[in-house]
C-alpha cells in the first residue's frame, strides 16, 4: 500500500473509510470540531495555539474482527486500539497500519521467562509497531496470533 500524506482529519477519515471498504469493514465516525478542554490530543495543551482554533478530532469505530478503534487528533497524531492494545501511530500511517492488520502482517511474540507478550504489526516500508500485552487475559484473536 502506497503511503500518502493526510494533511487533515477529514482526509484521514476518507482514507480509513476506503481502506476499511477494501476489506469489507464498515466504520462509524464521531467528529468533534472546535477547541475544548475534553481532549487535548497527545501533544498536550492547545488552548493558546491560535492556528488550532477550529480543531478537528475524530473517533472511529471499525466493525468486524478484531475490534479496532481509531482516535484522530490534531498535530498529525492518532491512537489505534487493536483488540484493546493501544498504538501511537502517525496519522499518515493509519491506513497502512490497518491494511497490514487485515492482511495478516500481525503477530504476538511470547517469552516463557519472564512471561510476557508483545503485539507486533509489520507495516511494509516502516518500522514495526510493537506494544506489550499488559493483561494476562488475551482475547481469542490475540491468542490465535501467538508464536
How confident is the model at residue 51, as a pLDDT? Answer: 52
* Helix, strand or coil, per DSSP, at residue 6: coil
Instruction: Name which of 58, 87, 90 is nearest 76 in CA terms.
Output: 90
Any domain includes 1: no
CA distance 41 to 33: 13
Number of domains in the chain: 1
pLDDT digits (tens, 9 = 90+) for 8-26: 899 999 999 999 999 999 9
Any domain includes 2: no
How confident is the model at residue 52, as a pLDDT? Answer: 47
Any domain includes 123: yes
pLDDT digits (tens, 9 = 90+) for 92-145: 999 999 999 999 999 999 988 888 899 999 999 999 999 999 877 788 898 888
Match 487475559 to its residue by C-alpha cell.
Answer: 137
How confident is the model at residue 106, as a pLDDT? Answer: 96
Distances (CA, A) of 122 to 4, 38, 52, 104: 18, 32, 33, 9
Any domain includes 3: no
How confident is the model at residue 112, as a pLDDT? Answer: 85
Range of the domain at 47: 9-143
How confident is the model at residue 32, as a pLDDT? Answer: 82
Any domain includes 86: yes
Any domain includes 79: yes
Any domain includes 14: yes
How confident is the model at residue 107, as a pLDDT? Answer: 95
For the whole model, what pTM was predicted?
0.84
Any domain includes 4: no
pLDDT digits (tens, 9 = 90+) for 36-95: 554 555 555 545 555 545 678 999 999 998 999 999 988 888 999 999 999 999 999 999
Amino acid at each position: 500500500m502506497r503511503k500518502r500524506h493526510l494533511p487533515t482529519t477529514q482526509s484521514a477519515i476518507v482514507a480509513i473509510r476506503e481502506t476499511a471498504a477494501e476489506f469489507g469493514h464498515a466504520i462509524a465516525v464521531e467528529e468533534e470540531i472546535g477547541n475544548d478542554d475534553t481532549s487535548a490530543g497527545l501533544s498536550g495543551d492547545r488552548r493558546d495555539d491560535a492556528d488550532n482554533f477550529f480543531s478537528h478530532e475524530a473517533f472511529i469505530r471499525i466493525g468486524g474482527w478484531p475490534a479496532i478503534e481509531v482516535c484522530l487528533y490534531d498535530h498529525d497524531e492518532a491512537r489505534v486500539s487493536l483488540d484493546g492494545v493501544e498504538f501511537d501511530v502517525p496519522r499518515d500511517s493509519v491506513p497502512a497500519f490497518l491494511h497490514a492488520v487485515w492482511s495478516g502482517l500481525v503477530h504476538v511474540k511470547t517469552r516463557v521467562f519472564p512471561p510476557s507478550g508483545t503485539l507486533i504489526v509489520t507495516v511494509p516500508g516502516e518500522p514495526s509497531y510493537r506494544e506489550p500485552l499488559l493483561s494476562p487475559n488475551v482475547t481469542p484473536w490475540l491468542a490465535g496470533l501467538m508464536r
